[in-house]
Amino acid sequence: MQDCVQAEQTDLSEVPINIVFVGEVDHGKSTLLGQIAKSTSSIHAARASKDLAHVMDQFEEEQRNEMTLDTAQIQISFSGYRFNLIDAPGHLELLKNMVTGTSRADCAVLVIDALQGPQVQTFRHLGIAQLIGCLDAIIAINKLDAFENPQEVFGSICETLRTPLQRFSFRSVTLIPISAFNGTGVSASNRWTWFKGPSVLEMFKEWAGLVPKDLQSGQTEETLIFPVQDVYQEGSSVQLAGRILAGHVKVDQSVASALTSKRFRVKRIIKFPQNVQTARKGDSVALELEDDQAKRRGQAKVKAGDVLIDAKETSVKSKRKITAKLIWLDQTPLSAGDKVTLRNPSFGAQGKTTWIEGGLLGYGDIGHATFDLLSDIIVRDPSIHACPLNRIVVERNKHIVCGGLVCSLPKDHC
């Protein structure tokens, strides 16, 4: 009865791929996720026997009202890969929960109810997924089992989507006809014969082959970016604690403070309980530095929030004027002159808005804004490379109300 995807030597040790499910309310995100969890035997029998959407919707209120309140996550494994599936609520009022879930994702599945077609929220969710870092997307056209001629309906929705999709720039977008309820189109063994493209799970497998190369990029030529998270002092030695955001670091490497341009030599890399010769992107370590320029004794003075970069690197700099593309999530809109705090992996800095695309960013809007800051934050030249250092959040009244990416000023800025 159950469409079981047999685990062929599943290697549970793989770094998982994070996939978020987005789209309008009631288009079937939680049901699709429940169907995938069930058909990959990822949940125990008691949880699988219930309403498919309830696999993820575990709050009593969610089950009673048949709606997802908050994001949730479940890990599945099949075909030798692990995936974290992230459910996100569709209601406009719950956008901050949707963004929380989406910010953890590498790829997105956008679910569209074929009975209703794409809605405003459909494209907003897709825009958010792209803005905050999803590289690839599946568009799952759901509830096609409700039609006598699913092929025709699928074709016509694909046609409707053609123009709006041109606004987005994912690495890949794949349209798949499905019935989340029946499992049609979810795995290769249950599909409409007229559709020659991949099933949802086949696409996941393809992503798994792509994404880890980006994630596990210890061997790439990326430049070192090491935000100093905290400074620990033990006797006379100072340790700079932090996680490497990009590139790698070696003992004896010449590094520089992005804030002061002062140069240092890496004396020790501590990965307690060992000292190591090199560390790479993603590693939490503590560094001990030696002053490289002056021969005088004494400890390197680098403060928390500073960013250590390769001494020859010129694209990472401290800035007091920032332009960013934002998803605004506060009920009170963002207007020019508003006082806010910006945070990225370096410092937090207070400042104010100087310009906003369209004059105002309301709840759920995506748009550009510029900020003048009272102190430095360190970013990478956005025209060179997408860099995690350029991920910022905006804080107002001590709460994070917005996320976005540092970017170049848009051409139509006036």
Partner 1 sequence: MSSKEKNMANLESLESKSIFIVREAFKKVKPNQVATLWSMGKDSTVLLWIIRKAFLGKIPFPVVHIDTGFKFPEMYAYRDRMSKEWALDLKIAKNEAALKKGMSKAKGVIPCCNALKTDALRAFVKKLKLKVLFLAIRRDEHGIRAKERYFSPRDEDFTWNYKDQPLEMWDQYEIVGGKGQHTRVHPLLDWTEIDIWRYIEAQKIPVIDMYFAKQGKRYRSIGCASCTDPISSNAATVQDIIKELESTTDPERKGRAQDKENQGIMQKLRALGYM
Single out the residue of 229, 253, 315, 370 in contact with partner 1 (rule: CB under 8 A). 229
201 and 78 Cβ atoms separated by less than 8 Å? yes
Query: In 3D, which of 223, 155, 237 has the Cα closest to residue 381?
Result: 223
To partner 1, the closest distance from the beta carbon of 381 in angstroms equals 19
To partner 1, the closest distance from the beta carbon of 301 in angstroms equals 18
Q: What is the DSSP letter of 135?
A: -
282 contributes a contact to partner 1 by CB under 8 A: yes
To partner 1, the closest distance from the beta carbon of 243 in angstroms equals 5
Binders of partner 1 in range 81-100 (CB under 8 A): 84, 96-97, 99-100
Residue 398, H or E segment? none
Give the amino acid at 117: G
381 contributes a contact to partner 1 by CB under 8 A: no
C-alpha 170/C-alpha 164 separation (Å) is 13
1 contributes a contact to partner 1 by CB under 8 A: no
C-alpha 325/C-alpha 335 separation (Å) is 15
Nearest to partner 1 of 97, 199 (CB atom): 97
Three-state DSSP at 188 gives coil
Cis amide prior to 273 (ω within 30 degrees): yes
Report angle CA 126, 129, 188 to the nearest 5 degrees.
Answer: 75
To partner 1, the closest distance from the beta carbon of 3 in angstroms equals 16
To partner 1, the closest distance from the beta carbon of 75 in angstroms equals 6
305 and 376 Cβ atoms separated by less than 8 Å? no
289 contributes a contact to partner 1 by CB under 8 A: no
Single out the residue of 43, 158, 238, 311 in contact with partner 1 (rule: CB under 8 A). 43
Residue 270, H or E segment? strand 263-271
* Site track 341-380 with partner 1 (rule: CB under 8 A), x = hit: --x-x-----------------------------------
Alpha-helical regions (H) of 57-149: 60-65, 95-102, 120-131
With contacts defined by CB under 8 A, name the span among 138-146, 181-189, 270-278, 294-302 that binds partner 1. 270-278
Nearest to partner 1 of 23, 403 (CB atom): 403
Binders of partner 1 in range 10-39 (CB under 8 A): 11-16
Nearest to partner 1 of 18, 353 (CB atom): 18
With a CB cutoff of 8 Å and minimum separation 6, the contacts of 255 are 224, 226, 249, 263, 264, 265, 266, 289, 308, 309, 310, 311
142 and 28 Cβ atoms separated by less than 8 Å? yes
To partner 1, the closest distance from the beta carbon of 55 in angstroms equals 8
To partner 1, the closest distance from the beta carbon of 63 in angstroms equals 8
241 contributes a contact to partner 1 by CB under 8 A: yes
59 contributes a contact to partner 1 by CB under 8 A: yes
Joined tokens for residue 216: 């596990």
* Residue 236: how many other CB atoms lie within 10 Å: 7
Binders of partner 1 in range 177-216 (CB under 8 A): 216
78 and 40 Cβ atoms separated by less than 8 Å? yes
Single out the residue of 173, 311, 400, 407 in contact with partner 1 (rule: CB under 8 A). 400
Tokens 């995936």 sit at which residue? Answer: 83
Binding site for partner 1 (CB under 8 A): 11-16, 41, 43-47, 55-56, 58-61, 69-75, 84, 96-97, 99-100, 103, 132, 216, 229-230, 232, 234, 239, 241, 243, 270-273, 282-284, 286, 304, 329, 343, 345, 388, 391, 393, 398-401, 403
